[in-house]
């Protein structure tokens, strides 16, 4: 039985970019939902994808694995960008060294159109 995740995932299309907005904890319990969301977006769109990590309060190796695996999949590396995220997320990506394999972008403006 899986633990209940503590993550919110919103998918927004804005200015030709698909933004996956994460809030909460990206941990082992949330990783399957996060991975399924990314795969759905990746399969359904050829547009650039931004994963907004700015409201992620905690991420562990399971979240890093999902990001890295999706980024390294055929055709995704050149269209996936990540926001820098919370201080905890930035530190995790720095310590693990995976930041060098990912592309970082400015936070998208998702206010009212």
All domains in the chain, ordered by first residue: 7-101 (3.30.750.24)
What pLDDT is recorded for position 44? 75
Out of 36-40, 58-62, 94-98, 106-110, least confident range:
106-110
For residue 46, give the nearest of 22, 66, 74, 67 by alpha carbon: 74
For residue 105, give the nearest of 75, 84, 76 by alpha carbon: 84
Residues with Cβ within 8 Å of 36's Cβ and at least 6 positions away in sequence, in order, are none
Average pLDDT on 20-37 reads 96
The whole-angstrom separation of Cα 79 and Cα 50 is 8
- What is the residue whose two structure tokens read 């919103």? 10
Predicted confidence band of residue 2 (pLDDT cuts 50, 70, 90): very low
Which of the pair, 74 or 72, is modelled with greater confidence?
72
Q: Furthest-apart CA pair in the chain: how many Å?
A: 41
Average pLDDT on 24-41 reads 95
Predicted confidence band of residue 112 (pLDDT cuts 50, 70, 90): very low
Average pLDDT, the chain: 89
- For 77, phi then psi, to 5°, come to -60, -40
> Three-state DSSP class for 55?
strand
Average pLDDT on 54-74 reads 94
Average pLDDT on 87-91 reads 94
Average pLDDT on 46-59 reads 94
């Amino acid at each position: 039985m899986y633990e209940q995740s503590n993550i919110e995932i919103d998918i927004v299309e804005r200015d030709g970019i698909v933004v996956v907005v994460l809030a909460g904890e990206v941990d082992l319990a949330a990783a399957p939902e996060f991975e399924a969301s990314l795969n759905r977006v990746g399969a359904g769109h050829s547009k650039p994808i931004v994963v907004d990590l700015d409201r992620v309060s905690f991420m562990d190796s399971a979240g890093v694995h999902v990001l890295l695996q999706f980024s390294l999949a055929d055709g995704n590396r050149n269209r996936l960008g990540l926001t820098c995220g919370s201080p905890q997320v930035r530190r995790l990506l720095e310590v693990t060294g995976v930041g060098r394999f990912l592309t970082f972008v400015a936070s998208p403006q998702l206010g009212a159109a």
